[in-house]
Amino acid sequence: MNTIKLENKIIKTKYNSFDELNEDDLKLLNSKKGVKYLIKQDEINMSAINKVLRQIHYELQLSELQVELIKLQKDVIKKGKRMVILFEGRDTAGKGGAIRRFMEHINPRHATEIALPKPTEGEKKSWYLQRYIKNLPEPGNIVFFNRSWYNRAIVEPVNGFCTNAEYEKFMQEVIDFENMLIKDDIHLIKFYFSISKSEQQERLELIKNNPLKLWKVSNVDKRAIELWDKYSEYKNKMFEQTATKNNPWVILNSNSKMSARINAINYVLSKTDYDKNQDS
């Protein structure tokens, strides 16, 4: 099984007293951004200071990486490359938030997020992969799949949305399908955002209690905790059967959304050949 687990790349800040703060972090706390974040804290103590510094360091890292993403995309456009990045993981794992950070500053004319709804009756009668093929990128474009064809590997069998025969057929076809994409010069990356059961439960509760986010909770989401073990079973099968040397699964610990976003962008940049010396 070829899976890649990424280490945390977030700069850690854990000061025990104000006297320990180094000069650079003091400057960050005294900046407009630092003061703004400190004012929002319920109490100004070392816990709050560490939290604010983690947020600022994250934003600084993210900004640097997003500059590199602009360079990468320019190279993709110039050379007519095609990129497909899959974002898989349990509900509330942070897939959508990570995609937004990828797309925040790149040219939207050459980058698309695909989050397909449930298939129509016509699509149900067609070859399963057909509707995903229609959304593959043209030359010079990047496509981010917020859930992908791997719905059939986990979500559909767990929730009874496909038959066992349909599941087995997909599992037999998917590696050949992805090898065809790679042979056609599509750069494919597969991310799996992994969270703990307690973290998922906490996030689901926060969403349920936020009227602005209620649209995010579907009937499938509501059963996520109840079906945790079954999701785990099919997730492990997916890794065992579809993580190959050419198409590995990249597993991101997304209990920390900030770490997962930084790690994901870092990975894409490190695995993509682009001109790093060009102006952004």
Predicted TM-score (pTM) above 0.85: yes
Q: Is residue 258 part of a domain?
A: yes
Q: Is residue 65 part of a domain?
A: no
Transcribe 39-52 into DSSP letters: HTSSS-SHHHHHHH
Token code pair at residue 234: 């099919």
- Let me know how many helices (H) and strands (E) the chain has, helices first: 12, 6
Tell me the mean pLDDT in the region 109-134.
Answer: 95
Q: Is residue 29 part of a domain?
A: no
The pLDDT tens digits for 212-235 are 777 777 777 778 899 999 999 999
Q: Quick check: 253 pLDDT over 90?
A: yes
- CATH classification at residue 120: 3.40.50.300
Q: Quick check: 45 pLDDT over 80?
A: yes
What are the angstrom distances between the C-alpha of 161 and each of 86, 165, 197, 236?
21, 12, 23, 19
Q: At CA 53, angle to CA 47 and CA 55, rounded to 5?
A: 105
Q: Which residues fall within 8 angstroms of residue 127, CB to CB, at 6 or more apart?
A: none
Q: Is residue 278 part of a domain?
A: no
Q: How confident is the model at residue 190 (pLDDT cuts 50, 70, 90)?
A: very high
Q: Is residue 178 part of a domain?
A: yes
CA distance 72 to 266: 12
- pLDDT of amino acid 251: 96
Which parts of the chain are beta strand (E)? 3-5, 82-89, 111-114, 141-146, 186-194, 249-253
Q: Is residue 229 part of a domain?
A: yes
- pLDDT of amino acid 238: 98
Total of domains in the chain: 1
- pLDDT of amino acid 9: 60
Q: Is residue 231 part of a domain?
A: yes
Q: Which residues fall within 8 angstroms of residue 106, CB to CB, at 6 or more apart?
A: 66, 69, 70, 73, 142
Domain hosting residue 186, numbered range: 3-7+81-270
Q: Is residue 12 part of a domain?
A: no
